Amino acid sequence: MGAQVSSQQRSRSRSRPRSGSDHGEVLSVHSSDNWNTLFQNSRSSNKLMVIDFSADWCGPCKFIEPTVHDFADEFSDVDFIKIDVDELPDVAKDFDVKAMPTFVLVKKGKERERIVGVKKDDLHRMIEKHRF
C-alpha cells in the first residue's frame, strides 16, 4: 500500500529561485481519514484552503493543472489540496461536486467561494479575495 497523502511539485519551464519546498506544492489526498484530519485541522486555522476536485480522465482538469501549480507557487500562504472524485467519491459528495474541475475555497471549515470549470482569472481573483 502506498502513501495516503502526496505532494506534487511541477517543474517550471522558466527558472525562478525558490525559497522553500512549499512553493508550487499541491497536496493530493488519497484517503478519507487523511482528508478528515486535514479538514478538521483547517477549521482552527485562518489559512485559506483551495480544494481542486478533479479526475484523471478529465481533459479540462489536466488543462488547468499547470495553472493550479502556478497559483500554489504564487500564493505560498494558501493550502492547495487535490481530490480525485473517483478515488474519494464521499468527499466529492459532501461538497456537492457535480462537474470537474470544481474549486472550493474554504476558510475555518466554511465554504467561501466555488468555481466550476476552467476559469483561471476568476480563481485567481477569488484566492486574492479570501486569502487574508
In three-state secondary structure terms, 86 is coil
* Grid cell for residue 107: 476558510
List phi, psi (to 5°) of 27. -90, 120
Q: Find the catalytic residue in 61, 83, 106, 126.
A: 61
Q: Is 61 a catalytic site residue?
A: yes
Q: Find the catalytic residue in 58, 78, 83, 88.
A: 58
59-74 vs 120-130: helix axis angle to the nearest 10? 40
Residues known to be catalytic: 58, 61
